[in-house]
Chains A and B, each alone.
Chain A
Amino acid sequence: MRFKTVFQSLLLVSLAGALPVQAQSVPVISFEQLSRQINRSNDTLYVVNFWATWCGPCVQELPQFETLHKTYATKPVRVLLVSMDNKATLTSKVVPFVRARKLQTPVVLLNEPDLNTWVDRLVPEWSGALPMTLVLNRKRKVRRFIGKALKDGELQSIINQYKL
């Protein structure tokens, strides 16, 4: 049994090594770091999705964010996938997931398991249910809270409202 696990991880490591160099890494960040990244006073529309590898509806809506990231590559839109996974599973689950799906949208792991230390400062209306998405632009006073999974095409129509 143990031998099998070791073998599997060896296999994973060798697979990861064989991937092209553009496979992204997943930085582990604090709330302060996240806050600095998404609360800038510029023209960029920040689309911030809170998700986890273990959350089915989150995984299901990821392609919508990938499409957005690609479609708006030359526009002032920044899509950020904030993983709420356990930091202890970064190398065993999160990074392999991101690589297997070849996610191109930047992914960070927010290492703040106690929501009560930071949620009130960013999104007081959130109960903690995943997925959750925020669309932000401080300069234009845009702030849209989406407390549930997005239906097909819903993200695109929300972004269209901001005429970018």
Chain B
Amino acid sequence: MKKFKLLALGSLLASAVLLSVALMNTRMADRDYAVAGGYKVGDVVQDFKLKNVDGTTVSLSDNQQAKGYIIVFTCNTCPVAKAYESRIMKLDEQFAAKGYPVVAIQPNDVQRSPGDSFEAMKQRSQSRKYSFPYLYDESQSVTQAFGASNTPHVFVVKREGSQFRVAYIGAIDNNQYDAAAAEKKYVESAVNELLAGKPVTTPSARAIGCGIKWKNA
């Protein structure tokens, strides 16, 4: 009887150890998935200057009121980006006034993806009445610096003095096919936590997306 109890205790301990190892592995993998060379959560981002659809240029430093930004790499053509378009518009509605406006960046090479041309971007932002800038990363250098790999791909950055630090990288929510069925709204939760001065519980998450169309080397 005693022997049995000991055995049970032993196996319980062993499974606890195994479980914690498994959990640790998941955590580490979580942190490592961002594209090699791109920003990781906690990194300070370098400001950029990109052409907006309204003819102006936009930098992160322009808006002195911003507490941070919801930077979304997105485009006209990707079916997943299209599925998320209204959710991106809602994020700006919800958070611009609170200090976290959306900045959308179109990263695709126009040779490879003609539907993402600057002209097409202008048309889309006008017809959908985007309330946020829609920038064209013609050289793809900003996309590369961020390490965005797909559309849509979100980077939430938080102001620290004159700098911006990455607080969240990844998906908007956990259901690309159906906004109503998404029970984890990663970006919304992250920004709400930042606004409340709390640490971000889920600093990265993935979703299916279209690979960015890089210029042919």
The interface of chain A, by Cβ under 8 A from chain B, is 52, 54-57, 84, 86, 88, 113-116, 119-121, 124-131, 147-149
Binary A-proximity of B10-32 (CB < 8 A = 1, otherwise 0): 00000000000000011001101
A124 to B213, CA, bound (A): 22
A121 to B170, CA, bound (A): 18
A56 to B206, CA, bound (A): 20
Contact partner of B210 among A114, A119, A130, CB < 8 A? A130
Could you say which residues of chain A place their CB within 8 Å of the CB of B170?
127
What are 18 A-B pairs at a CB distance below 8 A? A52-B208, A54-B80, A56-B210, A114-B184, A115-B171, A115-B174, A116-B174, A116-B206, A124-B33, A125-B32, A127-B153, A128-B206, A129-B210, A129-B211, A129-B212, A130-B209, A131-B211, A148-B211
Residue B140 interfacial (CB < 8 Å): no
A88 to B83, CA, bound (A): 15
Tell whether A54 pairs with B79 under 8 Å between CB atoms, given A88-B177, A131-B211: yes
Tell whether A128 pairs with B26 under 8 Å between CB atoms, given A115-B207, A116-B174: no
Interface residues on B, range: 20 to 34
Contact partner of B206 among A86, A119, A148, CB < 8 A? A119
Nearest-CB distance from B168 to chain A (Å)?
A: 13
19 A-B pairs besides A116-B206, A125-B33, A129-B212 with CB distance below 8 A are A55-B79, A57-B211, A57-B213, A86-B177, A114-B175, A115-B174, A115-B205, A115-B206, A115-B208, A116-B174, A120-B30, A120-B33, A127-B153, A128-B207, A128-B209, A129-B209, A130-B208, A130-B210, A147-B149
Interface of A is mostly: loop
Residue B189 interfacial (CB < 8 Å): no
Q: Which residues 131-160 of B have a CB within 8 angstroms of A? A: 149-150, 153
> Would you call A127 and B35 a contact (CB within 8 A)?
yes
> Would you call B211 and A124 a contact (CB within 8 A)?
no
